[in-house]
């Protein structure tokens, strides 16, 4: 039978330590590769009272309940994200409302907007033994992203911050990899996940991987 396993290691001059959790035997898999297209450099601007001023040729369109926008910015060097924003554009001005996640930055901050892309997915959280939500972008190892997993009623069940797999905390136990079989909290319990809304701040295309072992 197939299996999944998360391993961690630490090396020091003369010493090596390995933490290898027991492999999880699975009988079925759900695999979804969610392509995230390149964002436009013209989608970065300055925010004032919830309104972001962009270049005249920006690519943000007015949002609906299924097509929303994520905002990305740095706050004293720390990456921030606010997802599921409704965006209403009026020329170069894009007004953000609703949304969840980090509080929008103060006036004058640089902020990047990215249209979220919806991908259909289907797994029952009660059957999940291991779940991983990972991000890969060969051309941009510093990119930031988010994967918003929703149920049949479009309620947000889990919003997973995405960091490139090779970055510090790119693979995080209990945050984007859940070994439920080994005792990690099943944040998907009682839910059927049917949609992944993904975005990133990168100017090159990337991929979000949703991997479920049952």
**What percentage of the chain carries pLDDT values higher than 90?**
76
- CB within 8 Å of 127: residues ≥ 6 apart: 214
What's the whole-number average pLDDT of the chain?
Answer: 92
Residue 18 reports pLDDT greater than 80: no
Residue 175 reports pLDDT greater than 90: no
What tokens does 40 get?
Answer: 């436009």
Q: What CATH class has 23-36+117-213?
A: mainly beta
> Which range (26-35, 37-46, 169-178) has the least confidence?
169-178
pTM here is 0.90
> What is the C-alpha separation between 28 and 17, in angstroms, rounded?
32
pLDDT at 118: 96
Q: For the residues 149-170, what does the mean pLDDT come to?
A: 88
Q: What are residue 75's DSSP bridge partners?
A: 78
DSSP state string for 121-158: EEEEGGG-SEEEEEEE-TT-TT-EEEEEEEETT--EEE
The single-letter DSSP state of residue 174 is T
pLDDT at 70: 98
> What is the C-alpha separation between 188 and 211, in angstroms, rounded?
13
């Amino acid at each position: 039978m197939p299996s999944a396993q998360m391993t961690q290691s630490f090396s020091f001059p003369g010493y090596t330590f390995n933490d290898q959790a027991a492999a999880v035997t699975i009988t079925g898999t759900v695999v979804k590769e969610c392509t995230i297209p390149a964002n436009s450099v013209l989608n970065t601007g300055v925010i004032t009272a919830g309104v972001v001023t962009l270049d005249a040729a920006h690519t943000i369109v007015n949002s609906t309940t299924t097509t929303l926008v994520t905002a990305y910015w740095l706050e004293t060097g720390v990456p921030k994200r606010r997802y599921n924003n409704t965006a209403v554009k009026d020329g170069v001005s894009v007004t953000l409302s609703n949304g969840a996640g980090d509080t929008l930055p103060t006036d004058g901050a640089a902020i990047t907007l990215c249209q979220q892309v919806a991908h259909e997915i289907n797994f029952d959280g009660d059957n999940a033994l291991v779940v991983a939500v990972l991000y890969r972008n060969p051309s941009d190892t510093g990119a930031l992203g988010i994967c918003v997993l929703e149920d049949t009623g479009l309620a947000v069940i889990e919003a997973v911050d995405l960091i490139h797999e090779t970055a510090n905390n790119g693979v995080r136990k209990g945050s984007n990899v859940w070994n439920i079989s080994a005792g990690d909290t099943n944040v998907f319990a009682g839910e059927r996940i049917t949609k992944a809304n993904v975005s990133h701040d990168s100017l090159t295309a990337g991929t979000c991987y949703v991997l479920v072992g049952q």
